Amino acid sequence: MDTREMAGKFSTAMGHSSNGSPNGSDKEIWMALRIWVALSRAHISVVAREQVELTREGITRGEFGVMDALFFCGTMLISDIQRKILLSSGGVTYLVDRLEEKGYVKRTPLKEDRRAISVSLTPRGEKRFMEIFPNHAHGLLETMEVLSFDEQMMLKDMLKKIGLRAVELVDGNQRTAANNK
């Protein structure tokens, strides 16, 4: 399907008569959709490459994410790891279970609240992370070096801006929903 046909379908989906090209605010909507598709495809491709490299190391992306958070942030509660790596608490608990089986992390009940569990890297886990991390970082560099350093900085700033806007919109919608109850 060529771009003109796609634009016609877009106009139909938007409830407009099909004239083959979006116009006015439809152009902005069309561009937002194209950006979303490009961003999603880029993300999927980068994640796939990352997973191949981590699989060679005998670790999943999720496990690596937990180890990364613990290495750079230190001992954390499960809920803090969850917020850091954007997984459900059940998902983080599962990953911590697997890492504990491998001897990479340890759990410690908090003295103040024995229901709360802190998680930290073991010396073995720290050593393993430091073996994996350099190749991981170089792999990401190799992927990103298609952009100049200035382009990388601009992309980082733009993605951060989009992310903050999305959070702002979600927070606003949650407040509106709460007020309507």
DSSP line for 105-153 = EEEEE-SS-TTSEEEEE-HHHHHHHHHHHHHHHHHHHHHHTTS-HHHHH
Please, what is the average pLDDT of the chain? 88
Summarised one tens digit per residue, pLDDT across range 10-65 is: 777 877 654 444 445 778 888 888 999 999 999 999 999 999 999 999 999 999 99
Start-to-end CA span in the chain (Å): 45
pLDDT of residue 175 exceeding 80:
no
pLDDT of residue 133 exceeding 80:
yes
pLDDT of residue 81 exceeding 80:
yes
Percent pLDDT > 90 in the chain is: 62
> Residue 103: CA atoms inside 13 Å, Cβ hemisphere, count?
4
Under the phi-then-psi rule, with left for phi > 0, alpha for psi from -120 to 50, and beta for the rest, what region is 88?
beta
Whole-number pLDDT of residue 165? 93
pLDDT of residue 86 exceeding 80:
no
- pTM for the full model? 0.77
Residue 158 backbone phi and psi in degrees, to 5? -65, -45
Is the CA virtual torsion 153, 138, 83, 88 positive or negative? Answer: positive
Whole-number pLDDT of residue 114? 75
CA distance 149 to 156: 11
Number of H helices, E strands in the chain: 7, 3
Quote the DSSP letter at residue 181.
-
CATH architecture of the domain with range 60-144: Orthogonal Bundle (1.10)
